[in-house]
Amino acid sequence: MTQAGRQGSPRNSSGRKGPERNSSQGGASRGGAQGGGFRGAAGKRNAGFGGGDRPHKAPKPREERFVDPDEAPAGQQGGASDWKPAAPSARKPAARKPGAKKAPGTPGALKPKARTGKPGAAASRAFGSERFGQNLGPVRKPSRKRGPRGPVPQSEMHDADGTRLQKVMAQAGVASRRVCEEMIAEGRVEVDGQVVTELGVRVDPKNAVIHVDGLRIQLDENLVYMVFNKPKGVVSTMEDPDGRPCISDFVRKTHQGERLFHVGRLDVATEGLLLLTNDGELANRLTHPSYEVPKTYLVQVRGPFPQGIGAQLREGVELEDGFASVDSFKLVDSTPGHVLIEVVLHSGKNRIVRRLFDAVGFPVLRLVRVKVGPIGLGDQRQGSIRNLGKQEVGHLLASVGL
């Protein structure tokens, strides 16, 4: 079939015969053919146009809408030709701002808006702006039964030759002086065991004992508090006559001349936390059994570890120097042939952890002390010594009633 025959076939037409379509395409008025001749599947789409004999009318040109200058939007002046749509606001919605979908703290993320409210609200916690040390949260003080306490007269603790209390607190790094005044007014400050709410109180920094939210403020700058992560093979003494590695080999030169006490002892094969300080009263209380300062150890023994041994250690085991037990027992990890256990106890007897596990038939393969009272090693590397933060010192002093 020729090309013309294919074009005129009913199969390729829009419901009309081929010759009629070709004649309409060849008519003098092409506009009329387009208006009345083409219907197709659109059906009524071109129903407004007449048949092929009807002259085609060109559509009217679109007229521009007249804009009255008096009715133009605010800020737009001039006639219709000068008027332009108002520019979109330069302020983008929060969802369209760069970095809106990024997690807070990641590079390019939006910075959180500063909180408005009471001055110093962000730093109202004692030593809240401290950069070093660990934030140990609120102080857990033992519950003590006290009778109703009335207001304390200012004259009982006021020292006319002393320093204003808020100034002493600010110099100790508690917070700004203005925030310290708010703490005093809120009844959060104690001087020598008495709550102070008056801003005019003066104290002697050398003799006054000040607590904020239960945290003792250490005003003696000569006192040192440090944490040593002892490696295996180091002797827990400051000097060793046999020439073995000892604590003084790791102490910085700035503290070489000071007399430091190591709180407790760790045998040569035991690793982990040792507290170093020149505060004799604190060292005595931390080691005295009456204060029952808890110590946390990680113990590695050979596995498998049968059930019932933990309960036996909690109930107590008879040793050569008396009855001993652990305060808590927790299985941390288990691998083929080895078991890692966390135990907490407050006893200060020599090699107590090793002797307890020997008594139940599981000699210790590795022993690490990770915590003493509220102070933990965290991610401190072995062989390093770091100074405690002021919050940590306050918690440590509070744990023994100082």
3-state secondary structure of 191: strand
Catalytic residue among 82, 204, 249, 267: 267
Strands (E), 59-176: 163-164
Strand ranges for 303-352 from DSSP E? 317-319, 322-324, 328-335, 338-345
Neighbours of 86 (CB within 10 A): 11
DSSP code string of 227-289: EEEEPTT-BSSS--TT---BGGGTS-GGGTTS--EEES---TT-EEEEEEES-HHHHHHHH-G
Strand-strand pairing, 202-203 and 163-164: antiparallel
Tell me if residue 267 is catalytic: yes
Distance CA 339, CA 360 (A): 15
Token digits for 2? 């020729």
Contact between 343 and 353 (Cβ < 8 Å): yes
The candidate with the shortest Cα–Cα distance to 301, out of 340, 273, 262, 252, is 340
Catalytic residues: 267
